[in-house]
Amino acid sequence: YILIDYLDFFYSSREGGRGSDIGMRIDRIQKYFLDFGYPSTVLNFPEVNISDKRYKDSYVMYQSTEDQGLIYKNYIEDILLALELRGAILIPRFELFRGHSNKVFQELMRDLYLYPELSSIKSNCYGSYEDFEKHNTRSFPFVVKTAEGAKSTGVALVKNQSEIKSVIKKMSSSFDLTAWVKDKIKSIIRPNHIRISQHRNKFICQDFIPDLKGDYKIVIYGNKYYFIDRKVRKDDFRASGSGIFEFDVDIDTKILDYAKKLIEKFDSPYASFDIVIDDGKLDVVEFQFVTFGTASFFDSKTHYENQKGEWVRVTPSTNDTVENNIVNAIV
């Protein structure tokens, strides 16, 4: 089964050119699967009938979304979890979907899968500003990130005590005027009423890596490794969203070895990793396994493949497609 959203999208594609906003070609995906002997059925999420026992032991590919507030993603999550409980085999697994546009769960996965063998970055996850006030023991400087956000949005560096409230309260703000007024009235008429927080958007505090020159965006489809060398802007610390990108440059194969270990650890057919070099040691800052960008595929003229233990730089054929990469990776 291939599940698509209300826009009839499956993942994202830049086939229409830079800045285009289209989904992948579903007909191509079905054709490529059929070439391998796998017929498929395409469904919108509301068409999934959870009471149908045919989903048990069936493979289910699905679309995520990055809509504002992750409202539709929240709905998709309900459908996927019910499918998994029915016995369907989700591609990728449910917990990897849960980490999409959710940096809090990403950091929990870091502790589950990577720490300390493949990552030494430490993060703290909070559900409110009050959680942070009670439990923060970090020294300055440190990085604060909202759970949702891409291309450097929702990322800030806290350098001293005076910046804590201005940065973290802003990032965690969940202010709603109606709720605030009702809560205020309750506090007046009920002497024992405890007021709720107006800062309940979850966020993370993470180690700051000083003198970072950039990172490597490694996008993997099966045995194909694409990458972007992303530089940090002057007087900034964020490579994502900087716009200073280089494609098809030489890369230390140790970075590819590390990316290979990461994807094997997470056991996903495809992934996107933001890899940094911290004092000579490789680490991963963020990772995604569903609905990540395809710029690395469309803007790269070459990719790497691991052939018999050796990394080989490959120039793909002109008819290579991102849909083909997705299907080959899954098969």
Rounded distance, CA 284 to CA 42, Å? 34
Single-letter code of the amino acid located at 257: D
| First-residue to last-residue Cα distance in the chain | 14
Single-letter code of the amino acid located at 237: F
Characterise 213 by phi-psi region: left (phi > 0), alpha (psi -120 to 50), beta (else).
alpha
Instruction: Write out the E strands in 159-202.
Output: none
> pLDDT tens for residues 212-258?
889 999 999 999 999 999 988 776 666 665 578 999 989 999 999 99
Token pair in block for residue 241: 């969203």
Nearest CA-CA partner of 140 in 237, 202, 207, 203: 207
- pLDDT tens, the chain, 331 aa long: 999 999 998 887 777 666 666 789 999 999 999 999 999 999 999 999 999 999 999 999 999 998 888 999 999 999 999 999 999 999 999 999 999 999 999 999 999 999 999 999 999 999 999 999 999 999 999 999 999 876 667 899 999 999 998 899 999 999 999 999 999 999 999 989 999 999 999 999 999 998 888 999 999 999 999 999 998 877 666 666 557 899 998 999 999 999 999 999 999 999 999 999 998 999 999 999 999 989 899 999 999 999 999 999 999 888 899 999 999 999 9
> pLDDT tens for residues 91-131?
999 999 999 999 999 999 999 999 999 999 999 999 999 99
Q: What is the DSSP letter of 195?
A: P
Rounded distance, CA 283 to CA 120, Å? 7
The pTM of the full predicted model, rounded to 2 decimals, is 0.92
Distances 289 to 204, 218, 286, 305, 326 between C-alpha atoms, Å: 20, 12, 11, 19, 12
> pLDDT tens for residues 211-221?
888 999 999 99
Rounded distance, CA 112 to CA 121, Å? 13
